[in-house]
Structure 1
Amino acid sequence: MAETLQSFFAGRWRDASGPEYATEYPHDGSVVATLHAATAADVDEAVQAAERARRAPAWARLKPHERAGLLWRIAQGIRERAEDLAQLQRLDNGKPIRECRALVASAAGTFQFFAAAAETWEETITPSRGDYLTMSVHEPLGVVGAITPWNSPIASEAQKLAPALAAGCAVVLKPAEITPRMAIELARICQRAGVPDGIVSVLPGKGSVVGDALVRHPLVKRIAFTGGTAVGLGIQRLAAEKLMPTSLELGGKSPTVVLPDAELDHAVAGVLYGIFSSSGESCIAGSRAFVHESVYDAFRARLLDGVARLRVGDPAREDTQMGPLVNRAHRETVERYVQLGRDEGGRVLAGGARPTGGFYDAGSYYLPTVIEGLPNRARMCQEEIFGPVLALLPWRDEDDLVAQCNDNVYGLAAGLWTRDFRAAWRIGRALETGTVWINTYKQFSISTPFSGVKMSGYGQEKGRLGILEYTSQKSFYVGLNEQPLPWALS
C-alpha cells in the first residue's frame, strides 16, 4: 500500500501547496508513495524561515563543538535506522539492497566526519607585516539551497547537508522529484537530533519550479547542485545575476585505461564494477574502456564472460548485482543511445536489450551492454548515457591514448590498470579529470576532496576543507602600535 508523505517546512510537517503526485518502485512499477509537490510560494516560506532561524541565538550562537554534537547525533540517528533506511532507499530508486546499505553507511560517516571537522576547526593568525595582529576567519554564508539527484539520494544529501550545517548555515533541500524519500527521512532524523526549527527544510517537486525558485531567491546565498550538465549551466547563469557562489557536480564520460602489464582479472573486475554497478546510473561510471591492443582480445573475452555472469534482478535479493533503471522513460533514453551506437557502426557484444519474462516485464530493466568498433569521436563515446553501456576501444600509442581520453567535454574521473607506478603517475597527471583511480575504481573516502573539471562542474565536496564552500572569509587587523597613526599627525 502506498504511503502518504509530507514535506518539512521550518520544523512543521505538512503537505506542500502543489499538485499531488506518486513515486514508483522501478522493480515493478508499483506506487510506493504519494505526496504534494512544492511551489515557489513554499520555497519563499521555507527560505524566509531559514533566514530567521539561522540568525536566531539558538543556532547563530552555537559554538563549533555544539554544532558538532548535533552532527554526531544525526550520524547516530542514521545508524539506528540503517536497515529501515536502506529498504526505503531501495523502494525509492531500485538500487540493490546491498548497495543501499553502503549508501546509508556512507551518509552516517559523512555526518560523523564533518562533526569532527567542525569541532577541530582552527582559524588562522596570519604572518604580520606591520604593527598589528592579522587574522583570517570564516563565517557561514547564510541560507543554502541544496539540489540533489535521484541516483544516490541519501549519500548526495548528506554530502551537502553535513558541511553546510557544520559551517553554521541553514539549508533548504530540494531532492529529485522522483526520489524524495531519503531527504524526508533525513529531515526527520535532524529534527530528532535537536536541529533547531527552520535550519533544515525539505521541499520535493519539479526542478523547474522548486529549483528555479531556490536559485532566484534573494536570501539564498549559495547553491550546491548535483545533476545534469544542462541544468547546471542554467543554475550558473541565474547565479551570476546575484554573484552567488555555486558548486556544480555535473556529468561524466569517464575513461578507464588498461595497460599492457595490467593484472587482467583485477582490471576486468574493476571495469565491470565501474560501469555496471548502480546499473551505470552514476556520474563517475567508467563508460569508456581503452584497452591496449596487445591484451585487447584476452581482456574482451574475460570481460564478456564476466558480463554474462552478472546477476540482474530483484533489488530486494541479497545476491543481486544490477537492479532496474530508475524508470521506463530513462530506459528508453538508454535504448536510444544503444541504437545510436549501432547506427554509428558499433557492434553489440553483450546486452543491448531488455531482459524478458516474469518481473522483468513489469520493471524498467536493461541488460549490461558492451559495444566495440566505435571511434572515440562517436556520439555514443562522447555523450553521457547514464546507464549500463560500455564502449570498448583499443589503443596503441600512449600520447594518442591521453589525447583520446581528454577529447571529451567532461572531466570527472578516470581509472588506470597497470603494475607500472611510473606509467600510472605519468598518465594520471596528464588526464584532465578530478579523480584518478589506480588499480581500483569507484572507491570513495569522505576525507578526500571530490570535484570535476571542464563540463563536469567545479567546487569541492568532501574533505575537511569542504566546509569552506559554505563560508565567506573575513580578515581582522588588530592594531598593536603604541603611538597614533603617523599620517594623521604629519
Structure 2
Amino acid sequence: MPIFNEWLDGQVGKTYFNFINGEWASGSTGETFEIFNPAKKGQVLGYFQASTEEDVNQAVQAAHQAFKSWSEEPGANRGAILMKFADLLELHSEELAFTLSAEQGKVLAESKGEIGRAVKETRFAAGEALRVEGSTYPSEVRNISTTVMHRPLGVVAAIAPWNFPIVTPIRKIAPALAYGCTVVYKPASETPWSSIRIMELLTEAGVPKGVVNLVTGGGAKVGNPLISHPLVKGISFTGSTSVGLGINEKAASLLKKTQLELGGKNPAVVLDYEDAEYVAKQIVSAAFACSGQRCTSISRVVVLKEKSEEIIQAIQKELKKIKVGPASDPESTIGPLVSEDQLNTTIDYVNIGKEEGAQLVYGGEVLTDGKFSEGYYVEPALFTGVLSDMRIASEEIFGPVLSVQEVEDAKEALRVANNVKYGLAASVFTRDLSLAYQFVNELECGMVHVNHGTASQAHVPFGGVKESGFGAFSIGKTNKDFFTEMKVAYLQY
C-alpha cells in the first residue's frame, strides 16, 4: 500500500515527549526508550520518554490543580468539547489508522474499525455529561428535603494495554472528562505512539491545560507511583489479570476505587444451528481478530459431539481464507503479533498443546519466508481433542490459538464453559429459545452473545466477572459508578 509506506517513511525515528499541564516536556532523566514496527522489527518508529516518579508527580499535581475548575464546568460545555474531539478523531482517522497499524501491527481495516469505535464511544460519553442523574427521597421529618447527588471522583489514573492503543485510552479518558474528572494517562510501553496524537486532538478540541496528562514509561517507574499517589482517587486499568490483581491489592490498601478490565478464556458453545458455515465465520472472526490478542477473543469451542466434525471442517474452511501479512499489504486480513515475546508465548502454548495430547489440525507455524522474516508472524492454530484439564483449555494465551472441546449434552457444555477462572464473554449458538435463555442466565461471564461472535456495542456496559474484571463496567451508563462518588444532602427549610 504505497500511501501507508510513504507516510510511514516520513514519520519514523522522531522523539516524543510527555504531555503535562498542556505542555510537551522531556522526562526528568532525559532518557528515552524506542519502539519498533512489529511487521518490520528492525525499524525504529520513535523514541519516547522513560519517565520516573518525579514526572508522575508533576502530571498528578497538574491534574489536581485543573480538577476544581474542570469539575465545575457545566456538563453541556464538557460534552461539547468531547463532541468536537470525536469529530477530530473522525477527520484524522486515516492518519490515526496508519499510526496504530505501524506500532501495533493490526491490518488497516481493523485499525479503522477501532477508530470508528472510539468515535462512537466518545459521542456517547459526551451525552453522558448531561445525564449525571441524582435522586430525591421522601423525608422522615417535616421541612427537610433529602437528595442524592453524584460528584466527580477527582484525579483518575488511566492505564491502557497495547492491543487497542486508541479505543482503550479513549474509553477511559472520554467518560472521565464527561463526568468532570481529570486524568493522568499511562499508555503501554509497546504502543505509546498513537497516544501522542490523541493528546494533540484533545487540545485542539478545547480541553484545558492539566485536564488530561500523558506520561510514558515502564510499569515499575510510572505505573506504580501513579497508582500509589495520594492525589489519585481512582485507577482505571485494562490488561492482564495478574497485573490487575496487584493493582487492586495496592489500591484497596489505600481505599482507592478501581475499574479493572482483565483477561478472558471465552467459549463459543455450539449446541445446534441451521448453517455451520455461519457459525464458523462468527467463531473465526471473533477468535482471530487482532491476531487473537484481544481479551474478548473466542479461544474455546465447546461443541456437542454429534456436531463437532461438521463444525471443525467449517472452521478449517474459514481459516483457509485468512491471509497473514503486514498492514502495508491490502490483501492481509490479520497482522503480526505485537512483539517477539508475544510470538514466543504463542508458540510455547502450541507446543504445550501438542505435549498435552491435543491434535494440532491446522496452522501453529511461525512464518519466516520472504517478507515474513521481517516481523512476528504465526499461522493461526486450531486444536481438536482438547480436554478441560489441558493448559490450552484453561489459560489465556492472547494469541491466534483456538481449541475445540467435545461434550455429550448441553448440561456438560455449560459445566465445561464455566470451568475456568475467567468470566468475560461467551457466545452460544442455538435455535432453541429455552436453551438460549438458560445459557444467558447460567454462564459465569459478564457478557453473553447468542448466535454471533463476541462483538460488543459502543453504548452498552462492558466488563467481566470472576478474574476477568472488578469494579464498575466500562462503556455505557455504568461508568458513572466509577467516575463519580455519591453525596447525600439533607436540607432543612
Do the structures match in fold with TM over 0.5? Answer: yes
| Higher mean C-alpha deviation, range 89-98 or range 464-473 | 464-473
**2:340 is equivalent to residue 328 of structure 1:** yes
Shift of 1:422: 1.7
In the alignment, does 2:155 pair up with 1:143?
yes
Distance in 2 of aligned mates of 1:114 and 1:130: 38
Give CA-to-partner distance per residue, 1:101-123, whole Å, 9 cap, x none.
01111111111111111124332
Letter aligned with residue 199 of structure 2: A
- 1:244-302 CA-to-partner distances (Å, cap 9, x unmatched) read 11011111000101113352111100110111111000011110101111111111111
Structure 2 CA distance for aligned equivalents of residues 17 and 388 of structure 1: 39
Q: Secondary structure at the match of 2:121?
A: helix
Measure, in 2, the Cα distance between the counterparts of 1:320 and 1:439.
Answer: 27
Where in structure 2 are the equivalents of 1:330-345 lying within 5 Å? 330-345=342-357
| Counterpart contact for 2:302–2:416, Cα < 8 Å | no
Q: Does the alignment pair 1:477 with 2:468? A: no
- Would the aligned equivalents of 1:355 and 1:367 in 2 still touch at CA under 8 Å? yes
Is the Cα–Cα contact under 8 Å of residues 272 and 431 in structure 2 kept in the other structure? Answer: no
Matched residue, 2:122: 111
Q: Deviations over 1:450-489 (max 9, x none)?
A: 1110111122101123133111100111224xxxxxxxxx
Determine if the alignment matches structure 1 residue 81 to structure 2 residue 81.
Answer: no
Task: With the length of structure 1 as denominator, give the TM-score of the two structures.
Answer: 0.95
Q: Which moved more, 1:379-388 or 1:14-23?
A: 14-23
1 CA distance for matches of 2:457 and 2:272?
29
Gaps of 5+ in 1: 481-490
| Greater mean deviation of Cα atoms: 220-229 or 232-241 | 232-241
Task: Indicate the SS of the match to 1:21.
Answer: strand
Contact persistence 1:136–1:474 (CA under 8 A): yes
Distance 2:297 2:118 in 1: 20
Tell me how far apart the structure 1 counterparts of residues 272 and 233 of structure 2 sit (CA, whole Å): 50
Distance (Å, rounded) in 1 between the aligned partners of 2:478 and 2:353: 42
Question: How far 1:124 sits from its partner (Å)?
Answer: 1.7
Counterpart among 385, 389, 395 of residue 407 in structure 2:
395
Match of 1:8 in 2: 19
Instruction: Extract unaligned runs of 5+ from structure 2.
Output: 1-11
RMSD: 1.2
The corresponding residue for 2:52 is: 39
1:99 equivalent in alignment to 2:110: yes
* 1:7 and 1:14 in contact (8 A); partners too: yes
Give the whole-Å Cα distance in 1 for the aligned partners of 2:446 and 2:133.
Answer: 27
Choose from 48, 53, 70 the match for 2:61.
Answer: 48
Alpha-carbon distance in structure 1 between the residues aligned to 2:71 and 2:414: 49
TM-fit CA distance, 1:33? 1.0
Q: Say which is worse superposed, 26-35 or 408-417, in terms of deviation.
A: 26-35
Query: Structure 1 residues 260, 109: closer, same or farther in 2, change over 3 A?
Result: closer
What is the CA distance between 1:374 and its match in structure 2?
2.1
> Aligned letter for 1:339?
N
SS in 2 for 1:243: coil
CA offset at residue 130 of structure 1?
Answer: 3.1
After TM superposition, give the deviation of residue 125 of structure 1 in Å.
1.9
1:40 Cα deviation after fit? 0.8
Report matched runs for 1:231-270 at 5 Å.
231-270=243-282
1:179 and 2:179 aligned: no
Given that 1:261 and 1:420 are in contact with CA atoms closer than 8 Å, whether structure 2 keeps it comes out as no
Structure 1 CA distance, aligned partners of 2:163 and 2:274? Answer: 31
Q: Secondary structure at the match of 1:287?
A: strand
Secondary structure of the corresponding residue to residue 224 of structure 1: strand
Q: Is 1:433 the counterpart of 2:474 in the alignment? A: no
| Count of aligned pairs between the two proteins | 478
Following the alignment from structure 2 to structure 1, what is the Cα–Cα distance between the partners of residues 467 and 481? Answer: 22
